[in-house]
């Protein structure tokens, strides 16, 4: 009896693992495949033979359109939750093995998302806002140079007050995933995803999604 009762539990765990694998594999799938596993834009997946819940699946182009379609503080809760789910999928399939050492980091990056109902409230922006008392956060940008230095710029208030700090970055540890500011806003973040036009960082709060400027 114990062996029989254990079988449904094992099947349930296997189904959950299959769903996770399908999500990671299909979240950037180009379009619908044979058998209707991938629906039209914004569709979902359902494994046959098991009762699995419907979930949203997006191509990378759709994800970028969702990021660029409106300001961070103007997105609906539904849009923010969709972005958050896609971020989780992306972080599971980071194409870079040592992203903090990659030259793809070099350039200017603009913050697009940092969690549901958070707007652009990342640590550097909150610190700049508190110090300057200049108003609401308008934009946050990172500029990473070839000499491994980081410049963070925060624009605040209706008068576009700029708060900028520059800092050398400490050489990454052996795994090559962490960026650490020696000065400036003095924080460390893990690079959880990096490609030509997307950068995702994770510190103590929600993941921070940056677009190449």
pLDDT given for residue 211 in this prediction: 95
Per DSSP bridges, beta strands 208-212 and 198-202 are antiparallel
Where are the domain boundaries for CATH 2.40.128.280 in the chain? 99-212
pLDDT at 54: 46
* CATH code of the domain made up of 99-212: 2.40.128.280
Show the tokens assigned to 140: 């946050």
pLDDT at 167 over 50: yes
pLDDT tens digit sequence for 100-137: 888 899 999 999 999 999 999 998 999 999 988 989 99
Contacts of residue 191, Cβ cutoff 8 Å, sequence gap at least 6: 94, 96, 99, 100, 105, 177, 178, 179, 199, 200, 201
Q: What is the DSSP annotation of 101-159?
A: G-GGG-EEEEEEE-STT-TT--HHHHHHHHHH---SEEEEEEEE-TTSEEEEEEEETTT
pLDDT at 106: 93
Question: Can you give the pLDDT at residue 177?
Answer: 85
- Could you tell me the pTM of the whole model? 0.72
Averaged confidence pLDDT in the chain:
77
């Amino acid at each position: 009896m114990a062996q029989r009762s254990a079988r449904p539990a094992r099947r349930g765990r296997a189904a959950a693992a299959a769903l996770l694998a399908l999500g990671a594999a299909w979240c950037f799938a180009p379009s619908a495949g044979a058998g209707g596993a991938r629906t039209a834009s914004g569709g979902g997946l359902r494994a046959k033979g098991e009762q699995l819940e419907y979930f949203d699946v997006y191509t990378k182009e759709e994800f970028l359109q969702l990021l660029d379609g409106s300001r961070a503080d103007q997105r609906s809760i539904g849009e923010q939750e969709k972005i958050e789910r896609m971020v989780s999928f992306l972080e599971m399939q980071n194409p870079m093995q040592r992203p903090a050492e990659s030259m793809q980091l070099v350039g200017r990056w603009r913050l697009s998302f940092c969690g549901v109902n958070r707007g652009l409230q990342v640590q550097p922006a909150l610190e700049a806002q508190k110090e300057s008392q200049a108003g609401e956060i308008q934009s946050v940008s990172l500029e990473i140079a070839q000499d491994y230095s980081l410049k963070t710029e925060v624009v605040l208030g209706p008068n576009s007050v700029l708060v900028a700090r520059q800092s050398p970055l400490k050489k990454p540890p052996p795994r090559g995933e962490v960026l650490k500011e020696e000065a400036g806003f003095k924080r460390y973040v893990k690079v959880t995803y990096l490609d030509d036009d997307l950068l995702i960082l994770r510190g103590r709060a929600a993941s921070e999604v940056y677009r190449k400027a």
